[in-house]
Structure formats: C-alpha cells, structure tokens
A = this chain, B = another copy of it.
Amino acid sequence: MAASSTPGSPRLRRTAGDRRAQLVQIGLELLPTTPVQELTIDEVARRAGISRSLLFHYFATKREYYTAVTRAAADFMLDHLLPSPGTSPEEQVSGMLDRYVGWVETFRESHLAFVRGAGGGDPWVAEVYEETRERLVQVALTALELPDDVRRRQLVLAWFAFTEDLVGSWADEPTMSRPELLALLRDVLDRLVAHS
C-alpha cells in the first residue's frame, strides 16, 4: 500500500477517477479502526502520499469525503446481501437473512463501525445508513410478496433494528446455534408481518 509515497518517484499523476477510488479505498481501510468523525484529512492524505489540498480538490468538504466512504461501505454490503433474481421468494428472504448473519460474522468490526458511525452525530452519514436500511426492507417486502404500506414498513424496519442488535451480540457471545438464530429471527418477522 501507499506505493506512491516513496520519495524517489518523481511524482505520479493519476486520473481523476483513480484518485477518487484510491481515496475512498483508504477510507474504507481506515473505517474499522477509526470512528468516522475522527478520520482526519491529514492521515488520509499521508497514506495516499498526496497533499491535503488535493483531497479537497476531489471532495469539497470533509463531510463530503466520509459520506462517500460510508456510501461505498453500504453499497459493498448491499451487493453482498441482495438476492440473485432467479430464486424463489421464500428462498430470497431466508437467503438474505443468512447472508446478513454471515456478513456480520465475517466483517465484525467493520460492520460495527458502519452501524456506529452511521448512528453518530452527522446527519449526512445517518442518511446513508437510513437509505440502506430502507432499501433492504423494500427488497424484503417485495420478496415476501406483501404490499408495503407505511405500517408494515415501520414494523419490518424495527424488526431489522432487532436483528442488527441480536446478531451483533450473538456474534460476540453465541447463546444458540446458527440455525436456531436464523429460525428465531425469521419467526419474529413472520409474526410481525402477519400482525398487519
């Protein structure tokens, strides 16, 4: 990493797209260990081997930068979770749930950082997080072949908060088997949407 920081190289000039991608990538690498707000421009620039000024050339403001980073993280997760279009509706929901648990198991700290940072102070970042949750709920509802009235959305969104919390603490301290966890989550979801 940071090959361009080698002092010997006479100064490498990148295309705009490359630089942006590199900077976002650095943000993603920093995210698990650093709360989003504490991510400093200096540090990112140093890692990229560029001056602070250049970062402001690509992202007008610090907020704009880490919003982009958060959005990249969200997209990364969504790509992983969204069901392949061929499968059956039932399979789609259980598949997403299963992949979500797997995601949390694999990217433990990253995911926590994403959720944390999202809830945190900044409204812009919170917005990205809300967007992600709503897209997931949207997909889940259509997969369940249910109309999405406001009430059902609220319930499923809240169920997702439940799921996030439970899967998180379960990954820290597994108090049941993985299939048990999945069954429980699915059961609660089914009862809730039936409730409407």
Contact = CB atoms under 8 A, between A and B. Distances in A.
A154 B173 contact: yes
Contacts of A188: 188, 191-192
B184 A195 contact: yes
A151 B22 CA distance: 43
Given A120-B37, A120-B120, A121-B121, A169 B158 contact: yes
Contacts of A160: 165
Interface string A157-193: 1111111111001100101100000001000100110
A154 B175 contact: yes
B121 A115 contact: no
A35 B122 contact: yes
A27 interface: no
Nearest to A122: B35
Contacts of A192: 188
A3 interface: no
Interface size class of A (residues with CB under 8 A): 35 or more
A116 interface: yes
Nearest to A164: B161
Nearest to A184: B195
Interface string A31-51: 000011110000000000000
A70 to B, nearest CB: 12
B121 A35 contact: yes
A150 interface: yes
Interface string A101-125: 0000000000000011111111100
A120 B35 CA distance: 8
Given A115-B119, A117-B121, A161 B154 contact: no
Nearest to A38: B121
Contacts of A72: none
Contacts of A169: 154, 157-158
